[in-house]
């Protein structure tokens, strides 16, 4: 797997994922809020399958492997 999620993208995914999970746990939004787990997983692994399919890469050149 090549890294395709950069630092700013990772931070935004973590924040969004946590917010969605908290809102889902509180019952503010529906079950779809648990999809925040996907955002957190892609931030932790620094790889997004959708980015790979679309050819998007937010990772700086030096840190790509």
Distance of CA 20 to the CA centre of its chain: 12
Domain locations along the chain: 7-63
Q: What's residue 12's pLDDT?
A: 97
The answer to pTM > 0.75 is yes
Question: Could you report the per-residue pLDDT of 9-59, keeping only the tens digit for each?
Answer: 999 999 999 999 999 999 999 999 999 999 999 999 999 999 999 999 998
pLDDT bucket at 61, cuts 50 / 70 / 90? confident
Task: Residue 34: name the closest of 46, 17, 48 by CA.
Answer: 17
Q: How confident is the model at residue 63 (pLDDT cuts 50, 70, 90)?
A: low
State how far the alpha carbon of 38 is from the alpha carbons of 10, 28, 63, in Å: 12, 19, 22
Of the candidates 19, 12, 21, the residue with the CA atom closest to the CA atom of residue 48: 12
- Whether 40 and 15 have beta carbons less than 8 Å apart is answered as no
**Model confidence band, residue 62 (pLDDT cutoffs 50, 70, 90):** low
């Amino acid at each position: 797997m090549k890294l395709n999620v950069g630092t700013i993208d990772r931070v935004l995914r973590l924040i969004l994922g946590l917010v969605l999970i908290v809102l889902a746990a509180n019952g503010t939004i529906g079950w779809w809020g648990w999809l925040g787990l996907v955002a957190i997983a892609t931030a932790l692994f620094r790889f997004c399958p959708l980015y790979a399919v679309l050819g998007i890469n937010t990772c700086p050149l030096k840190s790509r492997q």
